[in-house]
Structure 1
Amino acid sequence: MTQTETPRSSGGDVRLRGISKTYGSFTAVHPLDLTIPAGSFFALLGASGCGKTTTLRMIAGLEEPTTGTVELAGQDVTALPPYKRQVNTVFQNYALFPHLDIFENVAFGLRRRGIKSVAKQVGEMLDLVQLGPMARRKPQQLSGGQQQRVAVARALINHPEVLLLDEPLGALDLKLRRQMQLELKRIQTEVGITFVHVTHDQEEAMTMADTVAVMNGGRVEQLGAPAELYENPGTTFVANFLGTSNLIAAEVTAAGGEELVLTAGGATLRLPAGRCRTEARAGGKVLAGVRPEKVALAHADDAGEIPAGHNRLTGRVRDASFIGVSTQYVIDVPGVGELAVYEQNLGRDGRLVPGAETVLHWKPEHTFGLDAEQDIAAGADPGEEAA
């Protein structure tokens, strides 16, 4: 089946109004208002125990909200059981029937509804997930990625308004997981159904989703497009959880114009006022952030070649790790601490070895500012929590 032949749906929007979930004295999800646009690919991203799966299960009807309402395509479904909601869920373990072949696994939902003629619809769905030639194989004869596609086809054949995906790629190895990220995005684009995807994997969320809600402690910490969240994190948790950030405790020495002047480790740094997410006053504190790949390294002997106007700090190389596409450095900066630098391997400087004196430098516009009252390490190592 060609892309133009694939039946499209406008999907349905999802609206959560004041939805929350408590278990005794523990609050898994604090009152939450969230709108997921129809036809979008939406990701709930967070560490274990942040409330993302509980939120998904409340949308599916598998958990009853303690407060609030769930609306699907304009209908209040809060009191409806799962089978009466226009949603289907794909789980991490796929839940395929081992005794049925792929065709019958996909046809199961149609047959359960009493539909006799299923061949055309099943064939179209298997073509959509590129498994047509494998229709008569059993699940155990397929790879993990193929089984995952069967689970998606089985869910989509029921024409749900919303497809819920609960860590669907968690059991796959890294290479296959990346391949399936692109596959899922392709399928969602072709069918046009609203996808709500729960994951703890930042790369997975950023690769596939139009919009990401970063969850932490049962609340949405920040909501936005992947690039916006990465480039302009609003909290230390988001800055650290989405990739790696260097967060530098700094004092504001001048404010009021388009640029803030900061002091950190005896050096002067500049921060665009529009990229500071907290009120900054002279004499106050901020956290100046910069992503490791935005920072360049120069050996101390080449310090004179650094472009004028760059932010710069001096330190010593503590560690250098070659990982193929880049070399990841850890630099000790007096008065600041350890900073990370990721340099693409276009031409490595053999002098940048542990112990070497170096200058870190970056464009001021690549700096962002956060509230210094926050935990500077929040999100860096979320660990495992309950719930």
Structure 2
Amino acid sequence: MTEPETASGGRDGGAVHLVGISKTYGSVRAVGPLDLTVPQGSFFALLGASGCGKTTTLRMIAGLEEPTHGTVFLGDRDVTGLPPYKRPVNTVFQSYALFPHLDVYENVAFGLRRRGIRSVRRQVGDMLDLVQLGDHARRKPHQLSGGQQQRVAVARALINHPRVLLLDEPLGALDLRLRRQMQRELKRIQTEVGITFIHVTHDQEEAMTMADTVAVMNAGNVEQLGTPAELYENPRSTFVANFLGTSNLIAAEITETAGAQGGDVAVMAGPVRLLLPSAQCAAPIARGGRLLVGVRPEKVSLTHAGDAASIPDGRNRISGRIVHSSFIGVSTQYVIDSAVCPGLEVYAQNIERDRRLAPGTEVVLHWSPAHTFGLDAAQSLLAGTTGDDGVHVAPDGGVAGARTALEAAREGRAGGVGV
């Protein structure tokens, strides 16, 4: 196995390279084979549901699991055969694993003392200041909150100046409010120290809040890699479209292709003509071909059918009837059935609520073609829609309308399915 090289022939400056990595347990393939590069100094997230292979991938980087095939590079160094303690990486686990009999200061100093460094005061003080725990140096772990314990674990991992910090579901034991606070803290710490963070999580919001780049994993492979905005705005598979939030997916047939200079593709979803940019189609574009037309619920506006004349020209439109609504404070979530597609979802921000928009009301859904993406119709509509409990969970934790859409799909109702 040769070391990864740039196009010019030199060694790649990325912090972590996985080349042809795979891991099998007997006849079960847990990971790969996959190739992955994590740039130096980035905050990188491995995102996926339980059992997708993300933690196994992290453990192979740490040296806690041996790859069945492939090579792990840290910088330009092949570390595949090195034990964990010889790799310039440290890991923070969900359990924190602090020493209960040592105070905060000694927990952080432990790694330095183990290396035989006697003068640790300045380094420990600087690290406690970084995680904003300078005033808690002499407290024991049981005297700290969960978030404070987590920061101690991060400080202890960082004090030996690893090349890479690995975070294995580090916020999973915290409540929602504290978890969101710690998301901001971890991002601040990573920005200040400037080293590579690789963060494993099943929480979509967590990955999108903190990471510069997210690798969405599914069945041991990377389904799609990109910035949070790229993945959310332009998913390339139904799994990513559904796993990162909620998507309305509508079965349609291509009737007009874009010209050589790009532009919009026209499709027919039942009797309705819709437009979408050719650049946002992750499927072959040919007249008569099938697409799943996708749009996020918050991109869609909802107008009472009696006011349809006020909708600007050039927008995609679908008529339907509200079957369910849920007021959740920041927005109202609607589920709309139409002849084109049952179970369409709309998230309307509660700025000026139209109180006529109640279940049973005839409405028009409309949105900009620029907010539309296209996916290969051969994929499953339900890919990525269920968590461990079988219920689709949006990034904000909402499940309104998800059961309706899934039930519609399972009943085989005509047309596409909004999921």
Please classify the TM superposition score into its range, dividing by the shorter chain length.
over 0.9
Match of 2:151 in 1: 149
Q: Which residue of 1 aligns with 2:322?
A: 317
Superposed, 1:345-356 pairs within 5 Å as: 345-356=350-361
Q: What's 2:363 paired with?
A: 358
Partner of 2:174: 172
State the distance in 2 between where 1:273 and 1:77 align: 43
Q: Distance in 2 between matches of 1:74 and 1:274?
A: 36
Aligned counterparts of 2:339 and 2:372: Cα–Cα separation in 1? 20
Quick one: which amino acid aligns to residue 76 of structure 1?
D
Residues 134-183 of structure 1, C-alpha deviations (whole Å, 9 max, x = no match)? 00001111111100000000000011000000000111111111111110
The aligned residue for residue 92 of structure 1 is 94
CA contact (8 A) 2:250 2:340 kept: no
1:301 equivalent among 291, 297, 306: 306
Question: Aligned letter for 1:208?
Answer: M
Residue-by-residue CA offset, 1:357-379 (whole Å, 9 max, x unaligned): 11100011111001000111100
The whole-number CA distance in structure 2 between the counterparts of 1:265 and 1:137 is 66
- Structure 1 contact 48–384 (Cα < 8 Å) conserved: no
Q: Give CA-to-partner distance per residue, 1:39-90, whole Å, 9 cap, x none.
A: 1110000000000000000000000000001011211110000000000000
Contact 2:50 2:202 in 1 (8 A): yes
Alignment match, 1:35 = 37
For residues 43-58 of structure 1, the aligned pairs below 5 Å read: 43-58=45-60
Q: Out of 290, 294, 308, which is 2:295 matched to?
A: 290
The CA deviation at 1:246 is: 0.6
Q: Is the contact between residue 310 and residue 363 of structure 1 (CA under 8 Å) also seen in structure 2? A: yes
**Does residue 122 of structure 2 align to residue 120 of structure 1?**
yes
Note if 1:343 corresponds to 2:343.
Answer: no
1:78 pairs with 53, 76, 80, which one?
Answer: 80
SS at the partner of 2:309? helix
Q: What code does the residue aligned with 1:361 have?
A: H
* Structure 2 residue aligned with 1:69: 71
Aligned to 1:132: 134
For the 8 Å contact 2:272–2:340, the answer to whether it is kept is no
Aligned residue in 2 for 1:198: 200
Amino acid at match of 2:64: L
State the one-letter code of the partner of 1:195. F
1:12 deviates by: 6.7
Q: Which of 208, 212, 231 matches 1:229?
A: 231
Q: Counterpart of 1:326 in structure 2: which amino acid?
A: S
Deviation for aligned residue 1:384: 7.0
2:104 maps to a residue whose letter is I
* Amino-acid identity (%): 74
1:306-328 CA distance string (max 9 Å, x none):
11111000111111111111111
Could you say which residue in structure 1 is the equivalent of 2:402? none
**Counterpart for residue 266 of structure 2:** 261
**CA RMSD across the alignment:** 1.2
- The higher relative CO (CA closer than 8 Å, separation ≥ 6) is in 1
Conserved 8 A contact 1:12-1:162: no
- Do 2:242 and 2:384's aligned partners in 1 also have CA atoms closer than 8 Å? yes
SS in 1 for 2:388: coil
Given that residues 332 and 348 in structure 2 are in contact (C-alpha distance below 8 angstroms), is that contact kept between their aligned partners in structure 1? yes
CA drift at 1:265: 3.2
Which residue of structure 2 aligns with residue 3 of structure 1? none
Alignment partner, residue 278 of structure 1:
283
User: What's the CA shift for 1:118?
Assistant: 0.9
The alignment of Structure 1 onto Structure 2 pairs a total of residues equal to 375
Query: Where does structure 2 lack aligned partners over 5 or more consecutive residues?
Result: 1-12, 391-419
Per-residue deviation at 1:260? 1.2
Any conservation in 2 of the 1:12–1:193 contact (CA below 8 Å)? Answer: no
Distance in 2, matches of 1:60 and 1:368, equals 37
Match of 1:367 among 367, 372, 375: 372
Q: Which residue of 2 aligns with 1:159?
A: 161
Q: Deviations over 1:216-274 (max 9, x none)?
A: 00000000111011111010000100111111101111214321111113211111112
* Aligned residue in 1 for 2:222: 220
Cα distance in 2 between the residues matched to 1:39 and 1:307: 45
SS at match of 2:343: strand
CA contact (8 A) 2:105 2:137 kept: yes
Secondary structure, aligned partner of 1:337 = coil
